[in-house]
Chain A
Amino acid sequence: MSAAVRPRTEIRLMQPADLKSVAAVERAAYQYPWSLGIFRDCLLAGYYCLVLDVGGSVTAYGIMSVAAGEAHLLNLCVHPNAQRLGYGRRLLGALMVRAGEVGADKIFLEVRPSNQVALRLYASVGFEQVGIRPAYYQAENGREDAVILAAALQTTR
């Protein structure tokens, strides 16, 4: 009898043992996914990497770097089969609290303007558009711009 079914969600730090599951969620969610190696580098670089575990399987994750009082959300991803259940919002909340704890007073991110679900989530927690990076993303027909969003954080340090 291995670990029993644990019907609870848990947000915890990403471990090297999670990399395979994380990369699998990434591949399921994105047309141009990060490789497993990129996630490993994120861990090695000391980025703040969280996973959201539902009942024992990795369902979502977020990766953020914090430097010089600014946090940068590099990846926030929920498995497509588990979207619209509130997991992304919970994970984003945990990341923003953490960024504040380590002294960041602002958080930035890039998002595809076509990603309406993500844009709604970010707007609902206080993100606002501060710029555009032209032709930032790979896209099916050429390139897609990135919208740059920023939100103020409550510094708790």
Chain B
Amino acid sequence: MTALRDRYLKEIGIPVWRVRSAPASTEPVLEIAKATALDGAAQGADAWSELQAKVRACTLCGLHRGRTQTVFGVGRRDARLFVIGEAPGADEDRQGEPFVGRAGQLLNAMLRSIGLPRAEVYIANILKCRPPNNRDPEPSEQSSCTPYLSQQIELVQPRVLLAVGRIAAQWLLQTDAPIGRIRGRVVSYGPRNTPLVVTYHPAYLLRSPLDKAKAWTDLCMVKELLGRSS
């Protein structure tokens, strides 16, 4: 029946789309990720736990008063892709993990679309604490918090950086240019000339789904860069 239908569709020129792989069920992948992280991370483990303790106890800016907990970051410590977001929202603040709400689900789908399960990458935000009412981070909050992120990037030493959203992109590139002008290019970044790709924040894409096409071209650049560096 399906074969016959496929033949009809083929005859009238309609491409048949199929789900490439079953979504969800990330549990086994997480197990593998944990195992590899344990193998390779022995030497960096001290630096990581030290940094984690520092972040957990941080009171450098006023945001610590309103937090349920800090949101340090998550993923493989030897990840090839480092995703940089903005700041925790309500869901993230509650769960202590970046990108767990609806935007997080879209980010996962974006990563999966280029063959990367969430557990394969490292994800962290510019700010480790939630700004009240999800307002933009203040420059002073950014400057006191971002050294933590710099150290995370330094420890992971990713092959490719992906900044999602205006705040992360403007911070990395120290520019006032709007996100629409910053995205769509590869900038070689930092002392190791790590390729940096900028794209829209998934929370923005939920509001403006038409820009998903542009985000897709950005993600394809990430995929190509990762393929080149392996």
Contacts and interface: CB of A to CB of B under 8 A. Distances in A.
Interface of A: 1-9, 54-57, 59, 79, 81-82, 84-87
Interface residues on B, range: 20 to 34
Contact of B146 (A7, A84, A85): A7
A1 B171 CA distance: 22
Nearest to B154: A4
B31 interface: no
A81 B189 contact: no
Interface of B: 146, 150-151, 153-154, 171-177, 181-182, 185-194
16 contacts: A2-B192, A4-B151, A4-B154, A5-B154, A5-B189, A5-B191, A7-B174, A54-B187, A55-B174, A55-B190, A81-B185, A82-B173, A82-B185, A84-B181, A85-B177, A87-B175
Which secondary structure characterizes the binding site on chain B?
Answer: mixed
A56 B189 CA distance: 7
Contacts of A86: 175-177
Given A84-B177, A85-B173, A55 B154 contact: no
Nearest to B157: A1
A4 to B, nearest CB: 4
Nearest to B176: A86
Contacts of A1: 154
A82 B111 CA distance: 25
